[in-house]
Amino acid sequence: MPPKSGPKSSESALRNPTTKETMMNITREAVARMIDHTLLKTDATPAQVAALLAEAKELGTYSICVSPSMLPVVGDLGGVKLATVCGFPSGNHTPAAKAAEAAESCRNGAHEVDMVINIGLLKDGHPEKVTEEIAAVREQTSGLLKVIIESAALTDDEIVAACRAAEAAGADYVKTSTGFHPAGGASTHAVALMAQTVGGRLGVKASGGIRDWDTAVAMIEAGATRLGLSGSREVLAGGTANASY
């Protein structure tokens, strides 16, 4: 169960927790401030996005993450950041298409862009091409850029290569998963490897399959500095979420 009170923790303070004592200090408020409260269902409606924003304000989450077609979001964000996705969910878009999508999203108010890499390029032994496509999106993204690598579909060597490509291209975060790939979502092993590879120079976002408090805390303990959740209310209450993106 989440602690109900305690000192507030910034994202930087939670970047590399290493001891049980550190973990005991992670409060509900601190975890909430690490959450991208997410709605990426294909049948999502503007009314559901409005409800997502209202819930994010109530829960105190860092941001909401919605599809580009939902931008601009109507209403007062009230301090909640606005994130969106790019090349989602397959990543099999041209670099130019991804860059154009990111540029439009930023014009429409997005503070952060979560782009999906072309994992086929990585698996075919061309990490330099992955760097090039990330750089193309980076150039058109005015805010933070997170790079989704679909870690569950990659070998450890490929995870390292993807993280290095993201860093070389100037990304701000590496992110485990879209939540849509059949290989699965986040794992503590992948998060730890990603965190080790970027060494605190980039943030690490864990997303996909995080449906309870213990899993969320385990991801933070492994090195996650941001969490992608669709069932934020249930997780923060110590329950189990049934929601999917």
Residues 6+ positions from 182 with CB-CB distance below 8 Å: none
Angle between helices 156-168 and 188-198 (to 10 degrees): 40
Q: Which two tokens stand for residue 172?
A: 């701000």
Contact 197, 221 (CB under 8 A): no
Total residues found in the chain within this entry: 245
Dihedral pair phi/psi, residue 229, rounded to 5°: -130, 140
Residues with a known catalytic role? 114, 175, 205
Strand pairing partners for 143? Answer: none
Burial of residue 111 (CB within 10 Å: 0-12, 13-18, 19+) is: middle
